[in-house]
Copies of this chain bind each other. A is one copy, B any other.
Amino acid sequence: MKLMQQHKLPWSFPLGRWLKDYRKETLVRDCVAGIVVSIVMVPQSMGYALLAGMPAEYGLYCAILPAFLYAFLGSSRSLSVGPAALISIMLAGSVATLNPQTEVEYIHYVVNISLLVGVFLMAMSLLRLGRLTNYISVPVISGFTSAAALTIMVSQLKHMMGVELGTGLDFGHTLLSLVQSIGQINIVTVVIGVSACVALWFFKTPFPRLIQRLKLPSWLEQALSKSGPMVVVLASAVMVAVLHLETSAQVSVVGNIPQGLPALSGISVDIALWKQLAMPSFLIALMCFITSIAVSSSLASKRRERVDSNQELLALGVANLGAAFSGTFALAGSLSRSAVNDATGAETTISSMVCALCIVVTLLFLTAAFYYLPLAVLGAIVIMSVFSMIDVQQFLRCWRLNRADAYSLLATFLAVLIFDIQTGIGVGIVLSVVLLLHRASHPHIAVVGRVGDSAHFRNIERHDVITSQSVVAIRVDESIYFSNVQYIEDFILEQCASHPQANHIVLICSSVSFVDTTAVDELERLIDKLRENEITLHFAEVKGPVMDQLKKTRLLDRLQPGRVFFTTDEAMRTLTAVRDTEQAED
């Protein structure tokens, strides 16, 4: 374990390390996991392709080369990378703003965004920005995710209703368009979609409990309980084919999927386009990283391992470049598939390679099976996949625990729904930073008093303590620097105003680890201001390094006759004694 992962170079090949003690049993486990994941992957990736506004097969393309690349570089043993709902909806939103006229143009934009996402992720890795995500709070991410899930679900209703609608619309416009097109609903499509939802729910919720009773081997139990989407896909395709619903009832189907693998292709340099795409791509890269790292680090902690965030950035970046050069769309780690991968026994990223091979087989031999697959079923799969992303519990927790968190969650949530996904995440990031700035500039400060006869001093608002009219002891619970020194100064001046008899202020610096230039300037000015009001400032419990810093300035000279006391106790005894002598002389 390393304290600061930033201090090492991000390049390493975790797979090489794992293969050193790779055994036959490990391979078996990886193969089983890979095959089971591919059963989930095939329908899900086609659904997410539709969500991104791309033809279904592009979802499968995402699951081949990028998965192989991640397998070589990724530091998470069981993260399943591939199409992801959040990334797909953000892609669709970003491309929509460019108003592409043809499918070729649409794909061109998507590929360029994927390229930039890869470049941004790799740049973040090289700059060791793995900790950048620390600056975005969990409530903001939660608000964003819940709203994005709602947007995704609404965006899939068109497939469930069998109506034509553009991709990449925001929540409000999609709802409006759906309502306006209510007359064109295709009843058969609705029936298929709703049945698919019910079937998916059945496979997800009561079915695993039923098969638990069969006492099957764990991997088989997992495989069966996760095969729901695949079963629904195949069953619905067979039904449509048999009843010729695609012609007799105008049910929209996936149609012809080109057999074979995607060709690798170059991408022409287009600086003007990249400039336009930079901001949305950066946000997609950020979201890709945040969601992937959340999944991989929670899986790693189960194994008592840690994920190296800069290595992850690199691996995700390279995987996205792989997507771009496969001519398909940006991807990320998926929570649902990674959980399946882990539960079915994946030991290393070899399982991801096995999964990718299964996708290759599908593309080579099984594409015909998807011709009759109704889009409504893919829509149902997407809706059911993202349903659990709506997290009301988190909002309630925030509301109870920290009202500011609840408000930032709500603001991000509403920004996504009212404006769009890009604006929403922008609002969230700005909110996080503003919260941080606000907190950094409002340190905790307390007036303290003596506990009984002891040498201990505690906050007068929380404890029953003895204070002095002439000497006010103030404890600052943070380092003093430019953003909080004004607040600290105001607090001290306020205390002077409310203690008219005070002629000594003791600033207890037990929690002050450093001071900066702005703080020293401001404290010098404070000393003068207090002196003009016949109040002397003293310091107590100044730490060694801070004392060394202060000795380099004029502050200690300016402080005279104020002193630096070793302990608060010493300060209070000395200063109250002086006061008593003065009073005796009066």
A residues adjacent to B (C-beta < 8 A): 1-4, 131, 134-139, 298, 301-302, 304, 306, 394, 397-398, 400-402, 404-405, 432-433, 436-437, 439-441, 444, 462, 477-479, 481-484, 486-487, 490-491, 493-494, 496-497, 511, 513-518, 520-521, 525, 528-529, 532-533, 543-544, 549, 552-553
Contacts and interface: CB of A to CB of B under 8 A. Distances in A.
Given A135-B437, A137-B518, A433-B433, A513 B477 contact: yes
27 contacts: A1-B497, A3-B490, A3-B494, A131-B441, A131-B486, A137-B516, A138-B482, A138-B521, A139-B516, A301-B528, A301-B529, A304-B529, A304-B533, A397-B517, A398-B517, A401-B516, A401-B549, A402-B514, A436-B437, A439-B440, A439-B481, A440-B440, A444-B479, A444-B513, A477-B478, A477-B513, A511-B511
A511 B509 CA distance: 12
A552 B301 CA distance: 25
Given A401-B549, A439-B481, A517-B397, A486 B134 contact: yes
Contacts of A477: 477-478, 511, 513
Label chain A's interface by main secondary structure: helix
A437 B441 contact: no
Contacts of A521: 138
Contacts of A405: 516-518
Contact of A400 (B2, B397, B400, B552): B552
Give 3 nearest A-B pairs by CB, closest first.
A137-B482, A444-B513, A3-B494
Given A3-B490, A482-B138, A511-B511, A516 B402 contact: yes
Contact of A496 (B1, B437, B518): B1
A392 to B, nearest CB: 14
Contacts of A397: 517, 553
A553 B520 CA distance: 40
A410 to B, nearest CB: 13
B304 A134 contact: no
Contact of A532 (B304, B511, B515, B553): B304
A431 to B, nearest CB: 11
